[in-house]
């Protein structure tokens, strides 16, 4: 199972961490670690690779990887320790990125949700997958060669995903066959264009659900869903919450 396909079994811990030691070794861990680095400088030696973690960035530590740490400059990180149902194939990674503000907000929500006694962990799972999606977007742009045509398609979808003919118009604007377009798009984003459009609609609906004066039907229409029942069905499939339950959760 690859990073982008992870299915979490349990979230064990959300922690803000500033190292007390200058050197230590982490072995035989039972949990994966995902999070953001906010400051400091540390050298992580994973035997098969050495990673310098410094400045702001995102990271994933596979639980199979033992490592030794040398702290060169004390700093702060914010991370989640979790388990999955199946082993994760993706190697440990650290990617420098200046924009971690959004991820910090998600981590804060997860930490608060884990502290809730009633249903908090289920809400944390939803935000955890949102965090992973954000990490995966950065990881793919960093490690995988981009096709300019597909980057154009991505931008087009982000502008027009609410329109009923979004995909058909996108096909017409390209000088390649529909089948070849779908193949290239899936290679670039690891999903079909239709699913990418659906996920854009779901993410937009989450924003609109935070507006209390909009009904669920109005949110569905504004996101490009002609059927409110279908909207509720796919929303719950993606978030494990109905739109109404998600709206309430945003005000916990």
Closest CA to 14 of 112, 132, 111: 111
* pLDDT, tens digit only, all 252 positions of the chain: 788 888 899 999 999 999 888 998 999 999 999 999 999 999 999 887 889 999 999 999 999 999 999 999 999 999 999 999 999 988 899 999 988 998 999 999 999 999 887 767 888 998 999 999 999 888 877 776 667 788 889 989 999 999 999 999 999 888 788 998 998 888 888 789 999 999 999 999 999 998 889 999 999 999 999 999 999 999 999 888 999 999 887 543
Q: Within 10 A of 231 (CB to CB), how many other CB atoms are there?
A: 22
- Calculate the CA 216 to chain-centre distance: 25
* Alpha carbon distance 15, 111 (integer Å): 8
Closest CA to 124 of 239, 227, 203: 239
Between CA 180 and CA 185, with CA 183 as vertex, the angle to 5 degrees is 110
* Alpha carbon distance 95, 112 (integer Å): 26
3-class DSSP state of 43: strand
- Predicted local distance difference test score (pLDDT) of residue 251: 42
In this prediction the pTM is 0.59
| Structure-token match 């719950």, residue found | 236
- Give bridge partners of residue 43 from the DSSP assignment: 52, 70
Angle between helices 148-160 and 193-208 (to 10 degrees): 40
- Predicted local distance difference test score (pLDDT) of residue 146: 64
> To 10 degrees, the CA torsion angle through 159, 163, 169, 173?
-10
- Predicted local distance difference test score (pLDDT) of residue 249: 79
Between CA 116 and CA 125, with CA 119 as vertex, the angle to 5 degrees is 95
Instruction: For residue 133, give every residue at least 6 positions away whose Cβ sits within 8 Å of its Cβ, in sequence order, or none.
Output: none
Instruction: Give CA separation, 47 vs 33, 52, 67, 69, 237, in Å.
Output: 18, 13, 7, 12, 40
Q: Rounded to 5 degrees, what are φ and ψ at 58? A: -115, 150
- Predicted local distance difference test score (pLDDT) of residue 62: 94
């Amino acid at each position: 199972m690859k990073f982008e396909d992870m299915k979490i079994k349990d979230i064990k811990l959300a922690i803000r961490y500033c190292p007390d030691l200058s050197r230590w070794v982490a072995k035989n861990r039972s949990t994966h670690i995902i999070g953001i680095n906010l400051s400091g400088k540390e050298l992580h030696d994973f035997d098969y690779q050495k990673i310098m973690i410094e400045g702001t960035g995102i990271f994933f530590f596979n639980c199979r990887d033992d490592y030794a740490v040398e702290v060169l400059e004390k700093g702060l990180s914010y991370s989640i320790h979790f388990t999955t149902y199946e082993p994760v194939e993706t190697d440990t990674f650290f990617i420098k990125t200046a924009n971690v503000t959004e991820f910090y907000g998600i981590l804060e929500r997860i930490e608060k949700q884990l502290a809730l006694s009633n249903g908090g962990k289920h809400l944390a799972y939803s935000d955890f997958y949102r965090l992973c999606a954000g990490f995966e977007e950065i990881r793919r742009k960093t490690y995988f060669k981009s096709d300019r045509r597909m980057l154009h398609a991505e931008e087009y979808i982000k502008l027009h995903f609410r329109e009923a003919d979004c995909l058909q118009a996108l096909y017409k604007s390209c000088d390649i066959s529909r089948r070849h377009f779908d193949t290239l798009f899936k290679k670039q984003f690891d999903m079909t264009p239709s699913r990418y459009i659906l996920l854009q609609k779901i993410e937009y609906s989450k924003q609109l659900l935070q507006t209390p004066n909009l009904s669920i039907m109005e949110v569905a229409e504004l996101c490009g869903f002609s059927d409110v029942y279908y909207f509720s069905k796919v929303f719950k499939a993606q978030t494990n919450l109905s739109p109404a339950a998600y709206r309430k959760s945003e005000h916990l």
